[in-house]
Amino acid sequence: MRISTQGAIIVSVAFCGLLIANATKAADSSKTESSASITTSAVKHQQLIVWTSGDREVALKMVFMYAENCKKRQWMDTVRLLVWGPSGKLLVEDPELQQRWNDLRIAGVELYACKACADEYGISDKLSKLGITVIYTGSMLAELQKAGWHVLSF
């Protein structure tokens, strides 16, 4: 494969840009913690956790643990947990997960479920009874990403 001179120049410029960006990032991360908190204090940090896995261990050891700590320890200002797909089926069938879910609600985690997914499993009413806002979530997911929310999926 041959690269034209113009292609080689473009690759070189892009590589130099990455080097400069990484050097700037490294310099910024060496600032003291107090100055970093001053520069980010006005920024609202928002976390969306998309829970799709039907694996119980993932729910207990990853999703619920992170969501609860993220809110309680104020790692993020707003924490929203979205039940999407098989996770909803798991949740309505498992009393221990339901109790942990209630703990998340009490901690202030916003709880949502995808109505289209829940309808596929026939569990929309059961999720609603758990205090979950069951809505069509495709556009919500897109809008939150456009608004700069951090999205984490399990």
Q: What's the pLDDT tens digit per position in 86-129?
A: 999 999 999 999 999 999 999 999 999 999 999 999 999 999 99
Listed residue (136, 49, 121) closest to 85, CA to CA:
121
The Cα diameter of the chain in Å comes to 64
Tens digits of per-residue pLDDT, 121-152?
A: 999 999 999 999 999 999 999 999 999 999 99
Task: Tell me, rounded to whole angstroms, the distance of Cα 135 from its chain centroid.
Answer: 18
Instruction: Please tell me the predicted confidence (pLDDT) of residue 66.
Output: 97
CATH classification of the domain holding 56: 3.40.1260.10
C-beta separation of 88 from 113 below 8 A: yes
Asked whether 112 and 82 are in contact (CB, 8 A), the reply is: yes
Q: Are residues 8 and 53 in the same domain?
A: no
Hey, what are 113's tokens? Answer: 């479920």
For residues 148 and 46, the answer to whether their CB atoms sit within 8 Å is yes
Range of the domain at 16: 1-37
Q: How many structural domains is the chain composed of?
A: 2
Lowest mean pLDDT among 11-25, 36-50, 96-110: 11-25
Residues 97 and 130 in one domain: yes
